[in-house]
């Protein structure tokens, strides 16, 4: 029951973000997702094209 009280106290401290805050957080999260996707795509390209370049020699 003590944990439930802690959760209730935390929920009382929270507030709804303003529209500007929400848009800023969404932009940052979107940029992070795109960056991680780009890094993964570059790794994919390197892993698929490197063996072909090495064998082609």
Q: DSSP code of 23? A: H
- For 5-52, what is each residue's pLDDT tens digit? 899 899 889 989 999 999 999 999 999 999 999 999 999 999 988 887
The set of residues, in sequence order, having a beta carbon less than 8 Å from that of 25 and lying 6+ positions away, is 17
Position 57 scores a pLDDT of: 58
Position 49 scores a pLDDT of: 86
Please check whether residue 10 is in contact with residue 18, taking contact to mean a CB–CB distance below 8 angstroms.
Answer: no
Position 26 scores a pLDDT of: 98
Position 39 scores a pLDDT of: 98
Position 25 scores a pLDDT of: 97
């Amino acid at each position: 029951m003590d944990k439930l009280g802690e959760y209730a106290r935390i929920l009382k401290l929270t507030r709804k973000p303003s529209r500007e805050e929400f848009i800023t957080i969404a932009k940052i999260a979107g940029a992070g997702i795109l960056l991680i996707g780009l890094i993964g795509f570059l790794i994919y390209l390197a892993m698929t094209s490197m063996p072909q370049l090495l064998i082609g020699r």
